[in-house]
Structure formats: C-alpha cells, structure tokens
Amino acid sequence: MPKTLWIVLALVLMAGWAGAADLPVAPNGIALYPEFMSWKPLAPSYREDKGHIRLITANDVALAGLRAGKNPLPDGSVLAKVAWKAVKHPAFPVATEPGEFVQVEFMVKDSRKYAATGGWGFARFVGKELKPYGKDPGFVAECFGCHTPVAAKDYLFTSLPSVP
Amino acid sequence: MPKTLWIVLALVLMAGWAGAADLPVAPNGIALYPEFMSWKPLAPSYREDKGHIRLITANDVALAGLRAGKNPLPDGSVLAKVAWKAVKHPAFPVATEPGEFVQVEFMVKDSRKYAATGGWGFARFVGKELKPYGKDPGFVAECFGCHTPVAAKDYLFTSLPSVP
Ligand code: HEC
Ligand code: HEC
C-alpha cells in the first residue's frame, strides 16, 4: 500500500476513535446520541412532582413507525426524553419554561440485542457533564420496571399528540 | 404555444389553487403552515393558568438564526406554538401530557411587510377546524401587545433551551 494511503487510514481511525471517546457511554454500552435536539418533536410533557418540563424527540425511523401506527416500532427507532428544571418566565410568570438542563434519556430499539427488556435498550445521561447513569448494566431494571405498565404500547408512555 | 403546454399550465395553476384553497388563512393573509409538527423543536412550555401544555417549533431559517445568536432573526424565519389541553397520563398521573388539540399560532418574519409589528406577522388557528382567529387584520394588536415586553429579544418569549 502506498505511504499516503496508510496515513489516510491512520487519520480516519484516529478521527473515529476520538469521536467515540468524546461521547459518554452508559454501563450497558449505549453511547449518547448527540443529535437528540435535532430530531423531530414527538411531544412536550410536564412533571409536577419533580418540577421538570420535558420534550420527547424521535429519530426518523421511530417517527415514521409511529405515524404508520406500528406496534412494536421497528429496529433502529430511537426516542429521547430531555428534562429541564421548570422555571417561571421572568417576563410572564404564569408561563413555565425550560431552565437548567437536568438529563437526557434514550430508548433504543433492537429486538434481538435487547430482547430481555421488550426490545428496548435504555440509557440516561445526567447533568451538564452528561454523566452516564447506573453502576452496572443492571440499572435498566429500574427503567424497564417503570415502563412495564405500558407494555401493550410497546413500553412507550408517549404517543403522537392529536393534531388536525 | 403548443396545446399540451397550455394543458400543463392549466393543471399547474389548478393544483396551486386547490392546495391554497385547502389551507385556512388568517385575516391578515397568513395561511396555515401545515408542516409545523415536522419542524424541529425549540422548547416545551406549560401554562398553569390555562391548563395548556405547549410545544414551540421553528423552521430551519429560524433555528439557524437562533443558534447563530441572531437578533433580530432573518426574514423567512417562522415559529409555531402548538397548544394542547394538559391531561394527566392515565398510566402515570403525575405526568402531564398533551390531550385535545387547542390551537396553533405562528410568527412569520418579514421585516418590510410587517414593519409595524416588529417585523413579525402573527396568525392563530383554533380547534380541530383550525378556524382563523380574528375578525379583521386588527387582531394582531392583541398578539403584538403581549409580545412587546420582550421587544429586546426580537419579541420572542422563548429562547434556545440550555443543552450540554
Ligand atoms: C418512575 C417511573 C419511570 C422510570 C423509573 C423511568 N421512566 Fe421513562 N418515562 C416515564 C414516564 C411517565 C414517561 C412519559 C413522559 C414523562 O412523563 O415525562 C417516560 C418516558 C420516557 C421516554 C420517552 C418515551 C416514552 O416512553 O414516553 C424515554 C426515552 C424514557 N422514559 C427513558 C427512560 C430511561 C432510560 C429510564 C431509566 C434510566 C427511565 N425512562 C425510567 C416513567 C419512568
Ligand atoms: C397574554 C399574552 C399573550 C398574547 C395575547 C399572545 N401571546 Fe404569544 N406568547 C406569549 C407567551 C408568554 C409566550 C411564551 C410561550 C408560552 O408561554 O406558551 C408566547 C409565545 C408565542 C410564540 C412562540 C415564540 C415565542 O415568542 O416564544 C408564538 C409563535 C406566539 N406566541 C404567537 C402569538 C400569536 C399569533 C398571538 C395572537 C393571535 C399571540 N402570540 C398572543 C404570550 C402571549
């Protein structure tokens, strides 16, 4: 192989490695999807008990599946739930809007890899540092447990909101 | 002009006319942007006084402008605010989610056409029928009046939420 090809190959490998090394990875191997705010919106949500305001976004595979009424969603579907502290708008206090970033969570569909948890891989990244949540892969029991009541809806709480 | 060209022209005009006729139009001439749920999300919001949960989306021009810190936003920017009745999730009542669709509102930037109202054209479409709000173009006084306290922020209440 000519020398330049080796150099190009080395650069490509380094770029790939640096990119992956930059992203936080959950204990079950799921890396952060940095494009979560560039996906299309599914729905807003609000948690009065936690004082959080949230936004659920979906990648194109998930959104197309939801629009087609697919249940379960196809492999490759990814949903993100972004949470912020709910704060009152300084210029209009009855309006509650996003304040400080709290965390982002993902559900990643791979029906074989995550067969034990309804085909979904779970991951949560907390705070400005996007610190991966959980000490070991067992953390998903908490996620899956809470999402089990909506098993009939492919373990999803959120559905497409009604729009004329 | 050959006959076929006339037919093609007639078909194109008819298609354009039929498409436009389907869309509701506000008293100031702004037609509904039907793609508002396919724009990218700006932020969620919650109005405790009205019991509404909302989603603000932005077209690509507006989003690029916001990300670049532009103030005022460039012509061609369009923001949508979608409102639903806030309902408690049946499977998880401390979570508030979108229920019935209430309305969708738009702010359309055209610094010449809407010079009198900060460069923004306003429009609101109410209920399942997407009924245009306002009896005559004067309805915008209500919108503009309420957005005037945030004139320094290009009349926008919502900014890009903080994301790491
Ligand atoms: C205490 C219950 C509970 C636990 C634990 C929980 N969730 Fe959820 N999750 C919910 C509810 C309720 C929603 C609906 C949206 C909302 O209320 O914010 C939701 C929504 C989501 C969504 C958006 C898709 C959907 O189902 O609506 C994702 C993604 C998500 N959760 C990921 C996770 C991950 C990852 C974990 C664990 C690290 C987790 N969840 C743990 C209750 C829970
Ligand atoms: C009583 C005050 C009030 C009036 C009247 C009002 N708005 Fe707003 N508007 C707000 C507030 C507060 C927000 C911030 C988001 C929220 O609270 O839902 C907002 C947000 C918006 C947004 C999203 C961009 C932004 O500024 O955050 C649009 C689009 C919008 N309004 C359009 C309209 C239109 C169109 C009308 C009139 C037909 C109107 N508004 C009238 C208070 C008002």
The string of DSSP codes covering chain B is --HHHHHHHHHHHHHHHHHHHHS-B-TTSPBP-TTTTTSEEEEEEEETTTTEEEEEEE-HHHHHHHHTT-SSPPTT-EEEEEEEEEEEETTEEEEEEEEEEEEEEEEEE-TTTTGGGTTEEEEEEETTTTEEP-SSGGGHHHHHHHHGGGGGGTT-S--PPP--
Confidence of residue A22 (pLDDT cuts 50, 70, 90): confident
Nearest CA to ligand 2 atom 20: B157
**The predicted structure's pLDDT at residue B46:** 97
Mean pLDDT estimate for chain A: 91
Other Cβ atoms within 10 Å of B57 Cβ, number: 24
B142 lines ligand 2 (CB under 6 A): yes
| Res A7: pLDDT | 56
Instruction: Label residue B18 by pLDDT band (50, 70, 90).
Output: very low
- Is the beta carbon of B54 within 6 A of some atom in ligand 2? yes
CA A129 to chain centre: 16
* Substitution site in B105, B124, B125, B139 for ligand 2 pocket (most atoms within 8 Å of beta carbon): B105
Would you state the pLDDT for residue A18? 44
- The rounded distance, in Å, linking the Cα atoms of A37 and A54 is 12
Give burial (CB, 10 Å; 0-12/13-18/19+) of B140.
buried
Look at residue B131 and tell me if it is in a domain: yes
Nearest ligand (C-alpha, residue A125): 1
Q: Which residue of A has its CA nearest to B40?
A: A40
Q: What is the pLDDT of residue B15?
A: 47
Nearest chain A CA: its distance from B124 CA (Å): 14
| Res. B5 pLDDT band, cuts 50 70 90 | low
pTM of the model as a whole:
0.90
pLDDT for residue B50 is more than 60: yes
**A2 pLDDT more than 80:** no
The residue among B120, B110, B112 whose CA lies nearest residue B145 is B120
Per residue in B62-117, pLDDT tens?
999 999 999 999 999 999 999 999 999 999 999 999 999 999 999 999 999 999 99
Judged by CB atoms closer than 8 Å, whether chains meet at B45 and A44 is answered as: yes
**Residue A162 domain flag:** no
Contact A47 B95 (CB under 8 A): yes
Say yes or no to pLDDT of B160 above 60. Answer: yes
pLDDT at position A16 over 90: no
Please report whether residue A159 resides in a domain.
no
d(CA B97, CA B85) in angstroms, rounded, equals 8
Mean pLDDT of the residues in chain B:
91
Residue A160 belongs to a domain: no
Nearest to B161 by CA among B41, B81, B35, B39: B41
User: What's the structural domain count of chain B?
Assistant: 1
Closest C-alpha to A58, from A118, A112, A24, A108: A108
How many residues are present in chain B? 164
pLDDT digits (tens, 9 = 90+) for A52-111: 999 999 999 999 999 999 999 999 999 999 999 999 999 999 999 999 999 999 999 999
Give the distance (Å) from ligand 2 centre to CA of residue B147.
7
Q: Report if residue A161 sits inside a domain.
A: no
Q: Is residue A26 part of a domain?
A: yes
CA Rg value for chain B = 19
| Buried-state track B12-25, b at ≥16 Cβ within 10 A, e below 16 | eeeeeeeeeeeebe
- Give the ligand whose atoms come closest to the C-alpha of residue B96: 1
Rounded distance, CA A93 to CA B48, Å? Answer: 10
Residue B152 contacts A where some CB pair is shorter than 8 Å: no
Q: Which domain holds residue A79?
A: 3-153
Rounded-to-integer distance, Cα B1 and Cα A38, Å? 47
CA separation for the pair B138, B28 (Å, rounded): 8
- Is residue B4 included in any domain, yes or no? no
Task: Tell me the one-letter amino acid at A56.
Answer: I
Can you give the pLDDT at residue B99?
A: 97
Confidence class of residue B4 from pLDDT cuts 50, 70 and 90? Answer: low
pLDDT at A145: 97
> What is the rounded end-to-end Cα distance, in angstroms, of chain B?
60
Of B39, B101, B157, the CB nearest to A164: B101
Distance CA B127, CA B122 (A): 17
| 8 Å CB contact of A37 and B40 | yes
Q: For position B101, what pLDDT does the model report? A: 98
Rg of chain A (C-alpha set): 19
What pLDDT, in 10s, does the model give residues A105-127?
999 999 999 999 999 999 999 99
Percent of chain A beyond pLDDT 70? Answer: 87
Question: According to the model, what pLDDT value does residue B22 have?
Answer: 87
Are the beta carbons of B162 and A130 separated by less than 8 Å?
no
* Predicted local distance difference test score (pLDDT) of residue A65: 98
Given a cut of 90, whether residue B138 has pLDDT beyond it is yes
Please check whether residue B67 touches A, CB under 8 A. no
**Domain membership flag for residue B82:** yes
